[in-house]
Structure 1
Amino acid sequence: MKTFSKVHFKSIRAFIRKVTISGFITSLIMATGIFSTTYYVSTAGNDSTGTGSLSLPWKTIQKAANSIAPGDIVNIASGTYREQVTINSLSGGSAAGGYKTFTSYNGTVYIKGSDVVKSWVLHSGSIWKKTGWTVNSQQVFQQYVPLQQIGWPDPAFTEYEGTLKKYNEIGEGVGDMFAGSFFYDDAGDTLYVWCRNNADPNTQIMEASVRTRVIACYGQYVKFTGLNMLHNNSLDTAQMLGGVEIGSYNEVSNCIIRYMDFTGIKFALQPVGARIIDCDILDNGCQGFGGTGVGTGTLVRNCVIRGNNYRNFTTTWNAGGSKMAGANDIIIEHSEFTGNNGCAVWFDVGTAMGDKKTVIRNNYIHNNINGSGAIHIEIQEKAEIYNNIIAYNSKRGVYISGSDYCKVYNNTIAYTSERESIGIGGLPRTGYTCSYNEVYNNIIYNSLDIDLFIAKRSDAVGNECNNNLFFSTARSSVVLKILNDDGIVNTYSDLTDWKTATGFDTVSKRESPQFLSQTADQYPLQSTSPCIGAGIFLPEVTVDYALSLRNNPPDIGAYEY
């Protein structure tokens, strides 16, 4: 047994982080070049009299962004900066001059889209108000924890997309408030709060989101590292914006992006070479990261995406860990998606160009609720999903819906609560097919509903499924379903009958995978596992979940013994 195959997800992430940081330092040295200058920003600085030096720092990050040249570094001193930092398309770095880099210095840096709200007046009972408040704040925080919004977010946010309602609001006005909630009266320019524990807001730290974005970076070759970014306010302006928006050759690394009102990080303007590395993307209003028309060379690596869609937007519309529309060249790897309200990873309406493809590999995707699947590939081409541990998700493990040429390889999918662990179908769907998809070398373990659902019909041809292992400790049978042209779903409880009737899974097995343990994300194999050497060689999958080399033939599942 390879020693590394026992490593926990956190250890793997730490290892990759070390490699990434080393690469970042090297690239930083190369990118900044010999003529780079280091500048300083401090909450005690001055934009008028400061020079950006250590002794005379600027006060705002925006001043630094407006003043530096390609290759320069901005060291931001510890403290809270309440501003929106905008870098327009003509103000970035350059391939020749290097990156503009913004990094924390000498402590923790917070960049917030919120303002502190004081001087509350008692309205009635335990409800307090702030009059003359002209911003429709989408989020209000008491002691850094959000209150529940009452009513519809804003008229700018349309209620329906077709027949699908996009948000599940609570109440309509002040009369529906309860302890731990807030309401904004747009007509009266008044913000109301009812604090948790009936507290007086004048004795609490009360923050309300006011700025549309925290970072709006549309210039190329810009890096942000080591920053905490929170509390934007976009839905009073438009739909589908991000608290942090990045463009081509932008990188966000070692940052925490939390409590944005809609999307945590958005890929904007069809970026090329945008990267999110070693970040924690937590508790954002609708989704952790996403974008529409995402460009080529996009990378998300070694991140934690947790607790997103805390505002409870409709999960079949646009919510959860991530949703990417129109993406055709992106890698999501070595990341953890957990506790999201909706799909963990969702790709929608993407057409592959040439050899471009979507890759989702070596991720730990667990305990996500609602949505259509932990991983949902919808109307997409050439998605490769391999070496993932997908466990304890509420609905579907991997769902390939109306998509072609997708590959589902060497995943360990365990304890899926509802629907199938792997689904190939989503049909009929006018104008789309679900053809030439491949499902190989997967462990499907303890599904609580359906093990596998696959379409085999005129709009779903050339699909292949084999070298998989199915097992449940709760039942002595499999649950395999196939959708035919007549719309009838046939169900098979015997693997041999399934093989004979469908031609799928001719060498697949139904027996215990013999995991070494199931603690946290641990699903490595014992020496007697029937998964060992039972896979088919796949050139895309050269290493396993823990980065150990694959044998030939490889093992079934995410781990190689």
Structure 2
Amino acid sequence: MSAVLIGSAIPLGFAGSPTAQAASRTYYVSPSGSDSNPGTSTAKPFRSLQKAADSTRPGDTVSIMNGTYRNKANGSDVVVISRSGRAGAPITFQAHPGHHPVINPVGAWNGIRISGASHIVVRGLEVKGDSANVSLADAERGASTKNGKFNTNCIWAEPNRTGAKPHHIDIVGNTVHHCPGLGIGSRSADHMTIDRNHVHSTSWYTVFATSGISILAAHDVDRGNPRKYKIRVTNNIVHDNETKVKWERCKCYSDGNGIIIDTLKDKAKANESGPDYQGRVLVANNVSYNNGGSGIHSFKSQHVDILNNTAYQNGRSTRMESYANIFAHDSRDVRLLNNVSYGRPGQSTNSKSRNEDVTYDYNVYYGGRAPEVKGPHDLVADPEIVEPGGDAEAAFRLREGSPAIGTAKALPEVTTDITGARRDTDAPDRGAYAFSTKGTAPDGASAAAGEAGSTAPQEDGSAPESAAEAGERSDEQSAGASDETGADTANDVRADGDSEPLAKTGAGVVLPLALAAAALAVGGGIIFLLRRRRT
């Protein structure tokens, strides 16, 4: 009986499958190909991305060759990914080695739409929207909720019509730009990784108040645990994202942020559905500059860590009251540590409004207004950034002598910097770029590794705002009322890495082994009772 129970607790991947698994395939796509081709060689590729996407099975790869790929008709998408991979066998969409394909949605709703699919990788692609050929005057006259021309998203993941939620989505190493709607985003998704992307010049003409990178109303597809990261936004460069057309919901200007973690709690208030998200979100090693709204912020969210980012002169929009560079608003259980925030004159620095258990510490603030809340190790000083600026070549590294060098809190969640170089663990630096490093991390090294230490004292305000919200989900500019100071508290957040205990993203062997152990105990107990009864 014990053997039977143990066997039932072990997945097929451990016990072995009675049937052979189909070998994974690579499908090739080229504008010179044909959808009547088999698509399994570079000599006879498919013509359309959709044909390749509809041919895939778990473990397959779609290798996209040189050329420009457009949507077939206005209001359609260039490609809809609706087939799922599985754990250990994702479906991958990537540039063919040595090639530089361009996905060019024109009049489309999306360049790439992930519709209710899971275990998907999108890697090394350029998604180029059509904003360069749209004028602000045209958008102000013609933008509407029913016109894809002004609302095109570059890469978007959302539930499908049956309600299936997208999950285990990796969007890595892409260049995403000039989409009138958002750059990279998801709604009701889980287990998202958005890493090493360059996102710029998006959100200009949409009526949906989008941002460069947006995680909206995340939904736990498995059990959520505030100690385990399930969503990661890491090592991205994000700039020139701004909303220039009014949001249709409030007829006001809103968002246009670099990175926003949006409405993970109290979803019904934002016309979203589902319970509060219980997984943890990591936002680390990003550079966000010259965006219309904030650089990075948490809005109506919980269980978020915003660590070692650099934000430079965001809040450039003159259409709305300036957002802060890096902050949390109406959030709880959020840590904002080791960030470099270089603000604009008159710009808000951070926020204490409606926050609960939100910690600001070890940040460097410069420019803008005085911080509303200041941790004991926060500094108000010039971070002395090398070659800051508003173009894609800006460096944002630290000069020798910067107060950000060697003064950060050691965070095992962030062991490398945005370049992949290992951070000095004895005296780490603040911001996305480390000045003092210990060589280069292995290829594909994650920003998150190891065991977290304890948080620093927090200052936070949870009193109502002095100005009423306008009803939109991103009215972050209102001021708070009072401070609270707490004592040091242990924070047991852990992430993937070599130190222990580990907190793996996704399924692991712990649960099956625990079930097996439980089955062994139950089986042994039953055998003991049977023997006792016979006696």
What's the TM-score bracket when you normalise by the shorter of the two chains? 0.5 to 0.7
Q: CA deviation at 1:454?
A: 2.4
The match for 1:557 among 418, 431, 447 is 431
CA deviation after TM superposition for structure 1 residue 85, in Å = 2.1
Alpha-carbon spacing, 1:456–1:253, altered in 2? closer, same or farther (3 Å): same
Verify the 8 A CA contact 1:328 1:351 in the aligned structure 2.
yes
Residue in 2 that maps onto 1:302: 173
C-alpha spacing 1:542/1:85, structure 2 compared with 1 (3 Å): same
Of the three residues 96, 114, 120, the one matched with 1:274 is 120
Q: Could you say which residue in structure 1 is the equivalent of 2:51? A: 85
Shift of residue 83 of structure 1?
Answer: 8.9
* AA aligned opposite 1:267: I
- The one-letter amino acid of 1:509's match is L
* Residues 5-154 of structure 1 aligned to structure 2 (within 5 Å): 60-64=34-38, 73-75=40-42, 81=47, 85=51, 88=54, 91-95=55-59, 99=60, 101-104=62-65, 108-114=66-72, 138=74
The Cα of 1:379 is off from its aligned counterpart by 1.6
Give the residue type in structure 2 aligned to 1:273.
H
* Residue 350 (1) aligns with residue 218 (2): yes
Question: Aligned-pair distance for 1:480?
Answer: 2.6
CA distance in 2, matches of 1:42, 1:547: 35
Query: 1:453 deviation in Å?
Result: 3.1
From 282, 286, 304, the counterpart of 1:384: 282
Q: Distance in 2 between matches of 1:449 and 1:280?
A: 36
* Cα displacement (A) at 1:331: 1.0
* Structure 2 Cα separation of the partners of residues 360 and 40 of structure 1: 29
2:102 is the alignment partner of 1:256: yes
Q: Work out the CA distance in 1 between the residues paired with 2:26 and 2:336.
A: 52
- Counterpart residue identity of residue 431, structure 2: G
Alpha-carbon separation, structure 2, partners of 1:215 and 1:336: 21
1:445 aligns with 2:316: no
Partner residue in 2 for 1:340: 202
> What letter matches 2:197 in structure 1?
S
Partner Cα distance (2:26, 2:291) in 1: 48
Does the 8 Å CA contact 1:74/1:102 hold for their aligned counterparts? no
Cα pair distance change 1:111/1:421, threshold 3 Å:
closer
Q: Is the counterpart of residue 404 in structure 1 residue 302 in structure 2?
A: yes
TM-superposed CA distance for 1:456, in Å, is 5.4
Corresponding position: 1:512 with 2:382: yes
Alpha-carbon spacing, 1:42–1:83, altered in 2? closer, same or farther (3 Å): closer
Contact kept in structure 1, 2:92 and 2:123, CA below 8 Å: yes
Rate the CA distance shift 1:41–1:534 in 2: closer, same or farther, 3 A: closer
Identify if the C-alpha distance between structure 1 residues 42 and 348 changes in structure 2 by more than 3 Å, giving closer, same or farther: closer
The structural deviation recorded for 1:103 is 4.6
Is the CA contact (8 Å cut-off) linking 1:298 and 1:330 kept in structure 2?
Answer: yes
| Cα-to-partner distance string for 1:43-73 (whole Å, 9 max, x where unaligned) | 5xxxxxxxxxxxxxxx7225526xxxxxxx2
**Are the equivalent residues in 2 in contact too, given 1:440–1:466 (CA < 8 A)?**
yes
2:312 matched residue in structure 1: 414
Q: Secondary structure at the match of 2:38?
A: helix
Q: Is the 8 A contact 1:366 1:392 kept in 2?
A: yes
String of CA shifts for 1:452-489, please: whole Å, max 9, x gaps. 332355xx3211101111112xx7xx3333xxxxxxxx
What does the per-residue CA deviation read over 1:81-123, in whole Å, with 9 as the maximum and x for residues that have no partner? 47952755xx53345xxx264553xxx4455444xxxxxxxxx
After superposition, the C-alpha distances for 1:135-168 in whole angstroms (9 at most, x for unaligned) are xx53xxxxxxxxxxxxxx8xxxxxxxxxxxxxxx
Match for residue 402 of structure 2? 529
Cα 1:278/1:214, change in 2 over 3 Å = same
Q: 2:532: which partner in 1?
A: none
SS of corresponding position for 1:297: strand
Partners of 1:42 and 1:76 within 8 A in 2: no
Contact 2:157–2:166 (8 Å) recurs in 1: no
In 1, distance between residues paired with 2:259 and 2:26?
44
Q: Which amino acid aligns with 2:358?
A: N
Instruction: Give the CA deviation at 1:443.
Output: 0.8
Of 152, 156, 176, which residue of structure 2 is paired with 1:290?
A: 156
TM-score of the superposed pair, with normalisation by structure 2: 0.57
Residue identity over aligned pairs, in percent, reads: 15
DSSP-derived class of the 1:405 partner:
strand
Corresponding residue SS for 1:529: coil
Q: Is the 8 A contact 1:343 1:374 kept in 2?
A: yes
The question of 1:331 aligning with 2:193 is answered yes
Higher RCO (C-alpha under 8 Å, 6+ residues apart): 2
TM-score (norm 1): 0.54
Higher strand share: 1
Q: Report the equivalent of 1:463.
A: 358
Cα distance change of structure 1 residues 326 and 348 upon mapping to structure 2, 3 Å threshold: same
Q: Secondary structure at the match of 1:540?
A: coil
Which AA in structure 1 matches 2:371? Answer: L
CA RMSD of aligned residues (A): 3.2
Task: Identify if the C-alpha distance between structure 1 residues 392 and 406 changes in structure 2 by more than 3 Å, giving closer, same or farther.
Answer: same
For this pair of structures, how many residues does the alignment match?
336
* C-alpha contact (below 8 Å) 1:251/1:274 kept by paired residues: yes
Going from structure 1 to structure 2, the CA distance change for 1:32 and 1:100 (only over 3 Å counts) comes to farther
Instruction: Show structure 2 runs of 5+ residues with no match.
Output: 1-20, 96-100, 131-148, 160-164, 204-209, 244-253, 265-276, 317-321, 436-535
